[in-house]
Amino acid sequence: MNIQSLAEEIAAPALPDFPLNQWYVAALGWELKDKPVGRTLLNKPVVLFRKPSGEVAALEDRCCHRALPLSSGTLEESGIRCGYHGLLYDERGKCVEIPGQDKIPSKAKVPAYHVREQDQIVWIWFGSESQSEPTCEPPTYPVHSSGKYLFDGNVYHYDAPYQLIHDNLMDLSHLGYVHLRTIGGNASIHMNARMSVESEGDVVRVVRHMPDSVPPPTYTAAYPFKGTVDRWQEIEFHVSHLRIWTGAVNAGTEDLDNPDRGGFHMRGFHGVTPETATTSHYFWTIATNPESDPEAIKAKVVEQTILTFDEDKVVIEDQYRNMCRFGVRPMIDIHVDAGANRARRIIEQLRQSTS
């Protein structure tokens, strides 16, 4: 490398680790009750809390006095109080009270984040230096608010980069090998499923159909199928989350291209938010449409989903450990990687566009 090219490399701004100017999932609504929640999101330590009005706020998780995490403090009517010396901050990050001191220094404040709660999902805006203000409202997810489904969910922490979770969710051919006890089924049918991959803007859509399949354990536990089934898997990738609609109808009874088809449905929301370059938060919910005994069926579907995600977590973290162990090695692609590869290209393009 000559001196000029070296100087150009030094002068070039570093690419962000993650796409910016995006709404990312910060929490599920029911996590924020009477205590603050501290999380690192996109390398930024953040404290999230619910105000008495019910609105959600997010601040940098560091008291400006002696740097204790504000998430170690307590919630009050006027905001969040540091657990070390009692400085009280409002939802804008401004210190509004210092115990034993009347004058509050103008510099007594911490950065605040733009945060919104929509359909029981809490979103936080991470903008570039030139676009700190949100340019749009956060995504809606009507599955949570339509009243047509029962749902529940939780949060996983992964010791693995977030794009490995994307890869896993974009390629459901692994179900026949990883999830034999739950949502799997015949591995050959999964690998040979008719698949289409389309993309528009920053969205990638993968559709897979598996007609005349034996229903897997989760399906038979939740729905009274009469024999073989026609299964579908519809995956919609967005930069900050994925929406996956899977299900089945009795074989030969309905058109799998009909958006209003009946049968057994599982609608999954998957908020995949980087913690750091090598760790991730995975916010998930699963919604279903029981025909009878709704609470019992919902509980069964949630239980089976947890078993499934436990299996995925083991695979993804083992995968990443082995990648670290072997270092940079070439990896081949096969036909089922088409959707995941498109998603990775979108992520890389957005990283470069927000540098």
pLDDT in tens, 142-175: 999 999 999 999 999 999 999 999 999 998 776 6
Tokens standing for residue 324: 């670290």
Angle at 54 between CA 76 and CA 274, to 5 degrees: 95
Q: What is the pLDDT of residue 216?
A: 84
pTM > 0.85: yes
Query: Quick one: average pLDDT of 268-281?
Result: 97
**Residue 171: which residues within 8 A CB-CB, separation 6 or more?**
336, 337, 339, 340
Burial environment of residue 107 by CB neighbours within 10 A (0 to 12, 13 to 18, 19 or more): exposed
Burial environment of residue 247 by CB neighbours within 10 A (0 to 12, 13 to 18, 19 or more): buried
Calpha distance 71→62 (Å, rounded): 8
Q: What is the pLDDT of residue 181?
A: 64
The pLDDT tens digits of the residues spanning 95-136 come to 999 999 999 999 999 999 999 999 999 999 999 988 899 999
Give the residue among 233, 237, 243 at the shortest CA–CA distance from 199: 237
Whether the predicted pLDDT of 8 surpasses 80: no
DSSP, residue by residue, 193-246: -EEEEEEETTEEEEEEEEEEEPPPHHHHHHS---S-EEEEEEEEE-SSEEEEEE
Calpha distance 189→5 (Å, rounded): 52
Least confident of 35-49, 227-241, 335-349: 335-349
Question: Which pLDDT band holds residue 10 (cuts at 50, 70, 90)?
Answer: very low
